[in-house]
């Protein structure tokens, strides 16, 4: 287990193949400080080449998931001789890069949303493949309420693909979307019992991690490919490739044997 004082705690596997990343600034509702942002980047870089971790759970310590960008924290380590415009582009890419890495890592990501999920935190949750929420959770595009665009960290791309046309109203008004509404519109897959979001996310993660590793990775890759495919034919071509790669593996043969023998499969990756 990582140092509990670290901004990001990398928890030992609660079950085989599952890794939990917990944002650990509970006194600040896990707001995204430069230290936290860079630490999360480092953890995602490790996961990108981690063949043992099959599923990732992302959550927040304490009573919140992530309150967005820390407006009172330390500055990012940007060279002092760059223009102000260039400096802000560098800083912005630190934030937006987290979303790109969450989508790029091969492991499916499950967000356990506990309490406030605002601004950049909202985008981190949207970047997950599955979201479950505590009854106290709420989502808000907070940037638009303080003079910034709500279209940050992939929000204008991801939210319409998750909830459809309702995304415009959510982003433009900057209102809170409570857990019940989030479930109703498909922003989260379920609302858990109070205090059970992380436990439920770990249960789902264990279920997912029991699948064949290559199949999991190619399924996530297919979601990403289909999101930008310009036609059904293009999406199916990518899916055909994935199926052929899976069919030729020992894990696929094991899955078929297990089904015939009516036993749980033992995948080796």
Which H or E run contains 56? strand 55-60
Contact between residue 55 and residue 93 where contact means Cβ atoms under 8 Å apart? no
Q: What is the gyration radius of the CA atoms in the chain, in angstroms?
A: 19
pLDDT for 3 equals 53
Q: In the prediction, which pLDDT does 12 show?
A: 57
On whether the 8-209 domain is CATH 3.90.226.10, my answer is: yes
Q: Which among 114, 111, 129 is positioned nearest to 193, based on CA atoms?
A: 114
Distance in angstroms (rounded) separating the CA atoms of residues 130 and 82? 39
Relative to beta strand 138-140, strand 177-178 is antiparallel
Residue 87, pLDDT score: 83
Q: What are the two backbone dihedrals, phi and then psi, of residue 176, each rounded to the nearest 5 degrees?
A: -80, 140
Give pLDDT tens digits for 21-72. 999 999 999 999 999 999 999 999 999 999 999 999 999 999 999 999 888 7
CA distances from 43 to 23, 28, 37, 114, 126 (A): 11, 21, 10, 21, 18
Task: Locate all alpha helices (DSSP H) within 17-107, ordered by sequence.
Answer: 34-47, 84-104
Name the residue among 46, 160, 32, 140 with its Cα closest to residue 96.
32
Phi, psi of 17 (to 5 degrees): 85, 0
Mean pLDDT per block of 10 residues along the chain (269 residues) reads 59 85 94 92 95 96 93 76 84 92 97 96 97 98 87 92 95 96 98 97 96 94 91 94 93 93 91
Residues 252-261 have pLDDT tens digits of 999 999 999 9
Predicted confidence at residue 220, as pLDDT, reads 94
- Closest alpha carbon to 188 in 161, 153, 169, 162: 162
């Amino acid at each position: 287990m990582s140092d509990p004082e670290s901004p990001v705690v990398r928890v030992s596997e609660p079950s085989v193949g599952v890794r939990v990343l917990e944002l650990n600034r509970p006194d600040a509702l896990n707001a995204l400080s430069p230290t936290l942002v860079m630490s999360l980047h480092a953890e995602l870089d490790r996961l990108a080449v981690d063949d043992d971790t099959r599923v990732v759970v992302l959550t927040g310590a304490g009573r919140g998931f992530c309150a967005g960008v820390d407006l009172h924290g330390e500055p990012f380590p940007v060279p002092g001789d760059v223009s102000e415009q260039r400096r802000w582009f560098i800083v912005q890419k630190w934030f937006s890069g987290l979303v790109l890495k969450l989508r790029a890592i091969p492991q499916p990501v499950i967000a356990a949303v506990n309490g406030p999920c605002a601004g950049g935190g909202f985008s981190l949750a949207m970047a997950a493949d599955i979201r479950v929420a505590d009854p106290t959770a709420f989502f808000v595009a907070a940037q638009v309420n303080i003079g910034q665009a709500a279209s940050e960290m992939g929000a204008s791309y991801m939210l319409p693909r998750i909830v459809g046309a309702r995304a415009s109203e959510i982003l433009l008004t900057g209102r809170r979307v409570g857990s019940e509404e989030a479930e109703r519109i498909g922003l989260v897959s379920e609302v858990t019992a109070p205090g059970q979001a992380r436990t439920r996310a770990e249960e789902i993660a264990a279920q997912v991690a029991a699948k064949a590793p290559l199949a999991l990775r190619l399924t996530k890759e297919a979601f990403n490919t289909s999101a930008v495919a310009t036609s059904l034919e293009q999406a199916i071509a990518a899916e055909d490739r994935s199926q052929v790669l899976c069919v030729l593996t020992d894990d696929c043969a094991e899955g078929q044997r297990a089904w015939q023998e009516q036993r749980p499969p033992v995948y080796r990756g």
